[in-house]
Amino acid sequence: MTNKPVQSLTVKKVSEQKCFDGWHRQYSHWSETLNCEMRFAVYLPPHVDDGEDVPVLYWLSGLTCTDENFMQKAGAMRLASDLGMAIVAPDTSPRGEGVPDDPEGQYDLGLGAGFYVNATQEPWSQHYRMYDYVVEELPALVEKHFPVCEKRSISGHSMGGHGAIMIALRNPESFCSVSAFSPICHPTDCPWGHKAFGAYLGDDQSAWKAYDSVELLKRSNVSNPLPILVDQGDADGFLAEQLKPESLLQASAEKGYPLSLRMQSGYDHSYFFIASFIEDHLHFHAEHLRG
């Protein structure tokens, strides 16, 4: 095993670019949760230069992505600058020497495909604990090193949309709002979920439900619901087999849990779709972060 640094909450700046009077920066750090070196990106709006602590939106990306996809393709920074909102984008899985990958070299398991769960099965359990990383370690790191306040929201795309909704439903006290683009809504009932959950969590499918947004919604607290916004393109090639937003909508209706699902005509699964509606999501989160 790689030797751990003395201080686990230290960060090292990898790169920085000025953008809309704020700063996009990449950092690396040793993750004790994942037992490897990790990288994440932060956008800090210009408000922090005036000594203001700003709210933060955590963005979780999808299969094959890193911290770079959203920051480079979504076009979110102009409005984040205006709104005074920080954005934090972690990687999608542990990486590095000794971190296991799909033995068949497929994209939907292993590197780039952490699925935001805590793996319990070998060889994954030593590194693949993305749930704890996103819920506990990364926010502690961000709140130690950056001028952000205690108000957080969370969003994501595809596998990251699954992660965002699932994490928010399990930790409603930690977030002001949650949104998603093209989320994997019911991973216990789709091929991506069966492959990943079977590998990471084992054959006992009852254990999978703790990471399934539909199952979590069925037993959520409707007396104090978390605002949820979901955008889904109707030309998405993964819609019917993998994403299944109708399952999420049905669960919310049966539970009486308010959820806004917008089907967007002609849009697919790409970042062109995200870029088209990201400003709606930033305004949605800003409203609830202010509240």
pLDDT tens digits for range 147-186? 999 999 999 999 999 999 999 999 999 999 999 999 999 9
Domain, as residue range, for 239: 12-290
Of the candidates 35, 29, 32, 2, the residue with the CA atom closest to the CA atom of residue 126:
35
Q: What's the domain count of the chain?
A: 1
* The pair of three-digit structure tokens given for residue 41, joined into one six-digit string: 């990106």
Using the Cα atoms of residue 264, residue 278, residue 257 and residue 197 in order, give the sign of their dihedral.
Answer: positive
Q: Residue 7 domain-assigned?
A: no
What average pLDDT score do residues 119-127 get?
98
CATH number at residue 266: 3.40.50.1820
Q: Residue 230 domain-assigned?
A: yes
Q: Residue 185 domain-assigned?
A: yes
Of the candidates 233, 250, 135, 232, the residue with the CA atom closest to the CA atom of residue 189:
250
Percent of the chain's residues with pLDDT above 90: 93
pLDDT surpasses 60 at 3:
no
DSSP, res 118: B
- The residues annotated with a catalytic role in the active site are 158, 236, 269
Q: Residue 3 domain-assigned?
A: no
Q: Residue 145 domain-assigned?
A: yes
Q: Residue 149 domain-assigned?
A: yes
Distance separating alpha carbons of residues 232 and 52, to the nearest angstrom: 35
pTM here? 0.95
Contact 35, 138 (CB under 8 A): no
**Does residue 225 have a cis peptide bond before it, meaning omega lies within 30 degrees of 0?**
no
What average pLDDT score do residues 45-51 get?
91
Q: Residue 6 domain-assigned?
A: no
Distance separating alpha carbons of residues 93 and 113, to the nearest angstrom: 6
Q: Residue 135 domain-assigned?
A: yes
Contact 14, 29 (CB under 8 A): no
What average pLDDT score do residues 84-101 get?
97
